[in-house]
Structure 1
Amino acid sequence: MVISWKNLFLLYLCNWLTAVRSRNPFFFPCENDTLSTILDCQKRGLTNVPTIKSVSVLSINLEGNKIQTVKSNALAGVPNLQNFSIMWNCPPGKLKGPGTRSCKLDIAPDAFVHLKNLSHLFLGGNSLLSIPRLPGGLKVLGLESSNIYRINTPLGTPQLKKLLLFKNCYYRNPCNQTFYINESVWQELRELTNLTLGFNNITAVPKGLPQNLTSLDLRENKISHIDEIAFANLTRLTYLNLEWNCQRCDHAAQPCFPCSNNSAINLHPKAFQNLSKITHLILRGNSLKDLPEGLFQGLQRLTYLDLSDNLLAYSIRNDSFFRDLKKVKLLNLIYNYEPLKTFDGLILSPYFSEMTSLEELLIRHGPSL
């Protein structure tokens, strides 16, 4: 096969144009993919939302810049935008880097509402005090690491499936008040399946949570009591995280917040009775010394149970809760010793043998040395 000089020249020209395109993006200073649908503008030192006009742009990432304002028309040139992230432009509290000045992202009330195709919106890490108007078709909303402590009115997002609201009120981002969400907010979110509310100074399981939830994260709050009906309507839940609500502080590596009189979280024996689909349950770090009889009854699909960082040394040796864990494949019992109390050897409850599906047992730093 003979290749003419003309064909070689055309091949060289095509390669050169491709290289030039990659070095000179259409939306400088942002980088774009070959179809110009995804723009990466993160960590560019930007102080304003860049002016972009394109019907083909579907995703813009502005994370880690120094933008403090999103004006009404900032995104008017990208009417088909589906994914927008402007996270970590104004970190709150102690989440700021050394020498970083305090600021808050000021978003015009109607900056997003005209984006009819927007499905993913990430606003976390911006010291937001309130939530701007949102497009009704939104599926995922990130408001984590903000200064949002109270939500009194519905969001206007009935199709929302994932809501990230963690780290709005904790020791690195203090608010000095109780986090509150009105029940009417949950009533609108009937399609919500994933909710994260960890690190928010919440003192009780919120009432009226959406019944379609499959994942609920309530870690590192101040929930001291869980009654019989707390999760009664959450029958589709597969993942529940309640870790570090009544913290044991004898080996804490960070600021520690125990419950009153160093008491354990109070679990009603039927607190989980309706969670027949639960597969992952995390009760780590709640100062538990024993478990209510029948707490795990009916959890036929439970495969992952984390009981680490509690005070269950005697329960591990004597109690019968193991017999209700027949489908559990991983059991975490790490750090369950009681201070200044040790045993000559490791003894497991005789009911432990009924865990016939167990594949992995984590028990170091447990009830014996």
Structure 2
Amino acid sequence: MSCDDSQSSKPNGSTFDLSNKGLDSFPRLSPSPNVTELLANFNSLVSLPDDLPIAFPFLRIVDVSGNELTTLPESLVRLESTLETLNVDDNELTRLPDGASDLRRLRVLRARGNRLAALPEGLGARTPDLVELHVDENRLTLLPDSLSSATALHVLEAGDNRLARLPDDLGALKALRVLNVSNNCLVALPDSFRFLSNLEMLDVGSNRIESLPDAFASCCRLRCGFFGVNCLGHVPAWIGCMPRIEELDLSDNRLLGDALPSRFGENLNRLKYFNLAGNQLTVLPDTFALLESLEDLRLGSTIPELERRAFQNGNWLRVFPDGFGHLSKLKHLQADENRIVELPKSFGASLQLLTYVDLAQNTLAALPDSFCDLAGLVSCRLSQNKLSMLPSDFGRLSELRDLYLDNNSLTDLPESFAQLVGLKSLDLFGNRLLRIPLFLAKMTKLTKLDLDGNSFGCNIKDVPSLVCTRRYASLPATHGWRGRSLPEQKPMAIDVTYDSERATSEEEAAELKTQTEILTRALAMSQSLWKSHQIEPGQESRIFETCLSRATQFDDSLLAEEKDVQGSQDCGRDEESDSGVGVVFESGEDWDKEVEHRSPFTVSVATLDQNYLSRPVRRLTREQRAELAIRLHKDQKESIKAAFTEDNEFFFNASLQPSISIKTEASEMPQAPDNDSLDGQFDDCD
């Protein structure tokens, strides 16, 4: 909007409001002494007029947040006797005017989300009324020492900067109630820090702090204390003597063994949230059971499941402390990636309010019978333990919606399991189940079901998979948009024939052909198809990904063949999804029918020399793949570690170990072409 277009904007009472007008320049101003508030936030302004204090000499509030300002006029100092609030959040400022420290009536300064490298010298010393300072999300390396003179300061937000230290006299801010210096480069707190006596919220998380002061004057007033993601090797005694604390975070530090104070819990009567995840604690003090108000306890990993690698990020706890069941208000328990071998016998009888339990990646061999008393349990994660059976009354967990039992040793499920008709997610991957549970047909609310990695004696296509159709809701014609309804689950019809040979209908054959084409194209392009459930070496792995990495060098003839193959395979990529086998779209894609299901591929699998697998594999033509498959099969008495599509036409080197293996005899494979060009090409595969 141009300046001329904005001349019609007139002061409304004592407020001149230009908020969200799409302005890229400020309108011409006429003197208006009655204006005390200027609101020009959420525009595209790159500068403010120098005569702003002349036109509005009695401004108390200036809000120009959410613009593209790179500088502020030095003339703002003329408002030194009137300006109380200055909001320049979310701009492109690299500095504040030097005169900003002379605004002696200033009470609130907000400059979050800019590019400030420093604050004006004298800020605090010449602004005695300053109550709130918000300078988080900038590039500050230091706070001015003069800030310690702002004795009226209540809020200091300086997180997400590059601060290497805090002012030495920080403890002089006796009125400070909120201090946030998280996500900086602090390695230590100043000695005067212990004298801060009125803090109610303290966040020093995500720094490099190695120790906390032995004494802290605010420990009796603190309500929220965040010390996570630092380098703390121990915690001082006052951590256990905070009678008003409600949220406490000590996650991702270096707490070893029994690092918590022996009397921890005796004076934490209001604590509701406690995060100890990502440490190396081996034991919790017995007084831990005195946390009678605790609702959320985190003792496990701090890394999201899909980002974890082959190392343990939780603690090293083997058992819960005596009296753990006294935490009667506990609702959320996360204790994954520990070494817990058993649960207290009264676990479920005492923790009646639990709705979320994560005990994955421990060494539990059994669950106590009282576990079935968790009547309000909604989400339960017991993955990667050593469970061989579940309690007979497991079906009493009627509120359960998400259940993860993958990578255990279950051979059967209790009859009461059929009562869990409210389940929406069920993961039984990687167990030892011999039969497909027929009661799955009653679980009509399931939207996620994983039965892979078991020992079912049936064709892989007979293992139930869910078809979840999303369709748009019917709305009146007056609506100009389409709202989506909740997913509708098509009931499963479980008709399983425990026979590896089963006739394939024409419809299934067509679907297999479509999926075969998608798989073939992805393999030729060295794309990853599917990867999940990172598990211990030696166990069955559900990693569906190709190992056809690019060779470092190519023969000229092979490179030419590859280009021809690549060109033919790239044709029509827009017609089908390249997201892999997980989602298959039928011809004539219909956005009202978004169907998602598993691949019904029948595969042949065995082993291949690891020396070969560790080398780059060249991309081959169709005939070369077929011959390689036959030659490897003949040279190895064991079947090769390779996979064939339904018609045994294409070969690829893959880390693929499905739970159901259908062997393919050598006589059924394609005959090798008479092509002398392959002689000696794979002699290093032995």
TM-score normalized by structure 1? 0.69
**Residue 336 of structure 1 pairs with residue 375 of structure 2:** no
Q: Which runs of 5+ in 1 are unaligned?
A: 1-10, 91-103, 170-177, 247-264
Which residue does 2:376 correspond to in 1? 357
- Distance change in 2, residues 1:158/1:30 (3 Å): same
Identity of aligned residues (%): 17
Q: Which runs of 5+ in 2 are unaligned?
A: 1-7, 19-26, 28-37, 54-60, 67-82, 302-313, 383-403, 409-428, 430-686
1:86-235 matched pairs, under 5 angstroms: 86-90=135-139, 105-116=141-152, 118-124=153-159, 125-134=161-170, 135-151=173-189, 152-169=191-208, 179-184=210-215, 186-209=216-239, 210-211=241-242, 212-226=244-258, 228-235=262-269
- What is the total number of aligned residue pairs between the two structures? 309
- Equivalent-residue separation in structure 1 for 2:318 and 2:268 (angstroms): 25
Choose between structure 1 and 2: higher helix proportion: 2
SS at match of 1:84: strand
Which residue does 1:270 correspond to in 2? 286
Q: C-alpha displacement at 1:128, in angstroms?
A: 2.7
Q: C-alpha displacement at 1:216, in angstroms?
A: 0.9
1:240-255 matched pairs, under 5 angstroms: 240-246=274-280
Judge conservation of contact 1:89–1:105 (CA < 8 Å) in 2.
Answer: no
Match for 2:249: what amino acid?
D
- Distance change in 2, residues 1:59/1:77 (3 Å): same
TM-score normalized by structure 2? 0.40
- Equivalent-residue separation in structure 1 for 2:147 and 2:92 (angstroms): 22
Give the aligned CA root-mean-square deviation in angstroms.
3.7
- Distance change in 2, residues 1:277/1:121 (3 Å): same
Match for 1:181: what amino acid?
L
1:310 to 320, 338, 341: 338
User: What CA deviation, in whole Å up to 9, does each residue of 1:153-212 have, x standing for no partner?
Assistant: 34543111011111111xxxxxxxx7112222x234421111111111112233222523
- Equivalent-residue separation in structure 2 for 1:233 and 1:315 (angstroms): 29
Match for 1:272: what amino acid?
F
- Equivalent-residue separation in structure 1 for 2:373 and 2:323 (angstroms): 16
- Equivalent-residue separation in structure 2 for 1:223 and 1:73 (angstroms): 40
- Distance change in 2, residues 1:18/1:324 (3 Å): closer
Which residue does 2:454 correspond to in 1? none
- Equivalent-residue separation in structure 1 for 2:87 and 2:126 (angstroms): 14
SS at match of 2:133: strand
- Distance change in 2, residues 1:329/1:50 (3 Å): farther
1:84 to 115, 121, 133: 133
SS at match of 1:180: coil
Judge conservation of contact 2:219–2:238 (CA < 8 Å) in 1.
Answer: no
2:64 to 31, 34, 45: 31
- Distance change in 2, residues 1:303/1:50 (3 Å): farther
Match for 1:229: what amino acid?
R
Q: C-alpha displacement at 1:37, in angstroms?
A: 3.4
Which residue does 1:300 correspond to in 2? 328
Judge conservation of contact 2:352–2:375 (CA < 8 Å) in 1.
Answer: yes
- Distance change in 2, residues 1:38/1:66 (3 Å): closer
Q: C-alpha displacement at 1:150, in angstroms?
A: 2.9
- Pick which of 52-61 and 106-115 moved more: 52-61
Which residue does 2:295 correspond to in 1? 279
- Pick which of 324-333 and 157-166 moved more: 324-333
Higher alpha-carbon Rg = 2
